[in-house]
Amino acid sequence: MEYYSSQINRLVEELSRLPGIGSKSAQRLAFHILNMPKENAQSLAGAITEARNNVRYCKECCTLTDDDLCPVCKNGKRDHRTIMAVENTRDLAAYEKTGKYEGVYHVLHGAISPMLGIGPGDIRLKELMVRLQKDVDELIIATNSSLEGEATAMYISKLVKPTGIKVTRIASGVPVGGDLEYIDEVTLLRALEGRREL
């Protein structure tokens, strides 16, 4: 039985296609949008349309941007000789929030996963290798600690090491506030191996 009109149902259906949005959340969002002032709803629709039409990959690091180069790559104060490879733009944003990393990034847009049919040619490795032919001192591999992230890190490391560029991997280990008894063995081993002097 249909509770809402066809346009409301369509709005709920479209919103429920977003990741992490179930049918109840989609309904709440739909009614929120319908109760917004018309100008705000049009502004939201315009922002979505403009972003979809204008956002593209940065020519240097492959992150999402609405310009040829993203703000990080444009910044002359950044250390362009240090590149951090991350899986996606959200990972880049997470490192930027720390305010401590002064190098630049390369966004891979995924990780190698033979189980899902994602090979080295399906992520932005070719673009990374082209960048590494420039004046680069260090490549920091900051992929996730998942099986796919580890496989990607190992693959990149084997590709890059023969070039003489220093290849490092981010440390991983026990999260702040985590109880050791609940942490898996691989994480505990990584924490032990990544220890440093106090």
Residue 150 has what pLDDT? Answer: 87
Helix (H) or strand (E) holding 189: helix 185-193
Check whether 176 has a pLDDT greater than 50: yes
Confidence band, pLDDT 50/70/90 cuts, at residue 10: very high
Q: What is the pTM of this model?
A: 0.80
Q: What is the DSSP letter of 19?
A: T
Residue 25 to residues 4, 110, 134: CA-CA distances in angstroms?
Answer: 16, 27, 47
Whole-angstrom Cα distance, residue 38 to residue 30?
Answer: 13
Residue 27 backbone dihedrals phi, psi, to 5 degrees: -65, -45
pLDDT bin (cut points 50, 70, 90) of residue 196 is low
Q: Which whole-number Å values give the CA distances from 27 to 4, 37, 40, in the listed order?
A: 10, 18, 18
- pLDDT in the model for residue 2: 62
- For residues 177 and 110, which has the higher predicted lDDT (pLDDT)? 110
pLDDT given at position 1: 43
Domain locations in the chain as residue ranges = 6-54, 76-192
Confidence of residue 197 (pLDDT cuts 50, 70, 90): low
The CATH topology of domain 76-192 is Dna Topoisomerase Vi A Subunit; Chain: A, domain 2 (3.40.1360)
Fold observed for domain 6-54: Helicase, Ruva Protein; domain 3 (1.10.8)
Mean pLDDT of the chain: 88
Separation of alpha carbons 158 and 115, rounded Å: 21
